[in-house]
Amino acid sequence: MSRDEFSGFFGVLVATVGSAVGLGNLWRFPYLVGQNGGAAFILIYLAFVLIICLPIAISEFIIGRKTRANTVRAFQILAPKTAWSGIGIVGVLAAFSILAFYTVVGGWTLDYLVRSVIHIFAKPDISALESQFTTMVTSPVRPIVWTVVFMVVCALIVMCGIKKGIEKYSRIMMPFLFLMIVILMVRSVTLPGASEGISFLIKPDFSKINTSVVLAALGQAFFSLSLGMGCLITYGSYVPNKENLTKLSFTTALSDTLFAMLAGLAIMPAVFAFGISPQEGPGLVFIVLPRIFAQIPMGNVFAVMFFVILLIAAITSVISLLEVVTAYVTEKLKLKRTVAVAGITVIVTVFASLSSLSQGVLKNVTVFGKSIFDFFDYLSANILLPLGGLSIVIFVGWYMKKSLVYQEFTNQGTLKGTLFRTYYFIIRYIAPVAIAIVFIDLILR
């Protein structure tokens, strides 16, 4: 049977941007910006995206398309009988680790979407909204039920395959997503008092910068672009030979960053306009935004719109995470796609239930001093993804034959490859050194 493939440039692009644009942009990015000093954090983030992440994205696509295999086998093909395939295994584990908390937030989103449709937000008073959120996330059953519903939707899409599932769904949803975030952004920046929020996003305060802020920016850049865990290796394995991988990576990074900025502009001005602290943390979009929606004309419409955006963004990212594991399991165990996806869904649900419960009844269970939920988040974004990224650049820059990398970069010599030297220099020297410095600094502290 021939391997499934994306239909062309636009098909791969919407799927990849769908993977990149997710809760990372709408939920994680705004609260990290709030907690880490605003514009200065954004500048460091942008530098990481451009200098480190973009070349890593190209490298992952090169590995995937060259081998046309899942992320573990890709390394086995390129480096037979070596330990390099460990990168792929760690990637699959990272996918589980992200799915374990991400799908829980997907469940919260469904809960809040339904609330916003039937108007059951507490009075527009921040402490009531806060306790509404806390009651929901700490309850033992309700968020798990929503998480399961969310998982099933994602699983059904992945079961339909690449072209007829992931691509088809992303083609419908992604343009709609961009349109909606623009509308929401315009609403937010035109609120009276919005300017303070805008200046928070554009005026850097470098006194807030320290190593953990830099690590958070690096981790967020990896997380937001879906890098370092073989997601783009997996998607790359379905990219037709004629597509330009550099162009694809660049457009993805640009769209994802644009979306993060739009999300920041949709959220922060509103937060400031209503005199709320931007350091609210993970509850920011669930507690603060309902309060804002309650106070603006047609707020209900905007509330529904916001949670629809959050839901779509979460789904298109979760399907990419599921695909990493699905490709591995179907190819390794020769299982049918539907069976593999069903099995993976059950396992993810078990871990997700644990992280959901860690908000409430299992609050006192800690792993390395963190709740189970926070542990999965920290482990994947701040450790596994940057480490995976580091290994990938070392692999492509130092282990793979340069001519092989060049061939794939230039589509077998048919593209000019003007940027190849810059790309190669970055993955050999700049990216590994930069990632290593951030890590070593963290360990020595």
Q: Provide the binding-site residues for ligand PFF, judged by CB under 6 A.
A: 19-20, 22-25, 98, 223-224, 226, 229, 231, 317, 320-321
The minimum distance between CB 135 and ligand PFF, in angstroms, equals: 26
Inter-CA distances, 120 with 107, 111, 116, 144, 310, Å: 17, 11, 6, 20, 18
> Which residue, 90 or 273, is less far from ligand PFF as judged by CB?
90
The minimum distance between CB 28 and ligand PFF, in angstroms, equals: 7
CB contact at 8 A, 316 and 173: yes
How long is the chain? Answer: 445
- For residues 289 and 143, give the distance between their C-alpha atoms in angstroms, rounded to a whole number: 19
> Which residue, 24 or 299, is less far from ligand PFF as judged by CB?
24
Task: Report the DSSP beta bridge partners of residue 370.
Answer: 367
> Which residue, 288 or 324, is less far from ligand PFF as judged by CB?
324
> Which residue, 23 or 72, is less far from ligand PFF as judged by CB?
23
> Which residue, 222 or 272, is less far from ligand PFF as judged by CB?
222
> Which residue, 222 or 302, is less far from ligand PFF as judged by CB?
222
- Output the CA torsion sign for 105, 110, 115, 116: positive
- For residues 154 and 214, give the distance between their C-alpha atoms in angstroms, rounded to a whole number: 33
Q: If we measure between CA atoms, which residue out of 313, 291, 302, 308 comes closest to residue 114?
A: 308
The minimum distance between CB 148 and ligand PFF, in angstroms, equals: 20
> Which residue, 23 or 357, is less far from ligand PFF as judged by CB?
23
3-state secondary structure of 77: helix
The minimum distance between CB 324 and ligand PFF, in angstroms, equals: 6
- For residues 254 and 393, give the distance between their C-alpha atoms in angstroms, rounded to a whole number: 21
- For residues 342 and 326, give the distance between their C-alpha atoms in angstroms, rounded to a whole number: 10
Q: How many CB atoms lie within 10 A of CB 96?
A: 19
What residue number has its CB nearest to ligand PFF? 24
> Which residue, 22 or 299, is less far from ligand PFF as judged by CB?
22
> Which residue, 67 or 132, is less far from ligand PFF as judged by CB?
67
Helix (H) or strand (E) holding 370: strand 370-371
> Which residue, 126 or 260, is less far from ligand PFF as judged by CB?
260
Q: 């410095």: which residue's tokens?
A: 437
The minimum distance between CB 389 and ligand PFF, in angstroms, equals: 11
CA atoms within 13 A on the CB side of 275: 3
Composition of the chain by helix, strand, coil, percent to 5: 80, 0, 20
> Which residue, 25 or 132, is less far from ligand PFF as judged by CB?
25
The minimum distance between CB 321 and ligand PFF, in angstroms, equals: 5
Query: Tokens for 367?
Result: 């792993």
- For residues 4 and 238, give the distance between their C-alpha atoms in angstroms, rounded to a whole number: 7
Q: Which residues of 267-276 are buried (b: 16+ CB within 10 A; e: fewer)?
A: bbbbbbbbeb
The minimum distance between CB 130 and ligand PFF, in angstroms, equals: 24
- For residues 311 and 112, give the distance between their C-alpha atoms in angstroms, rounded to a whole number: 10
Our measurement of the distance from residue 180's CA atom to the centroid of its chain's CA atoms, rounded to an integer in Å, reads 19
Q: If we measure between CA atoms, which residue out of 182, 102, 169, 112 comes closest to residue 316?
A: 169
The minimum distance between CB 74 and ligand PFF, in angstroms, equals: 15
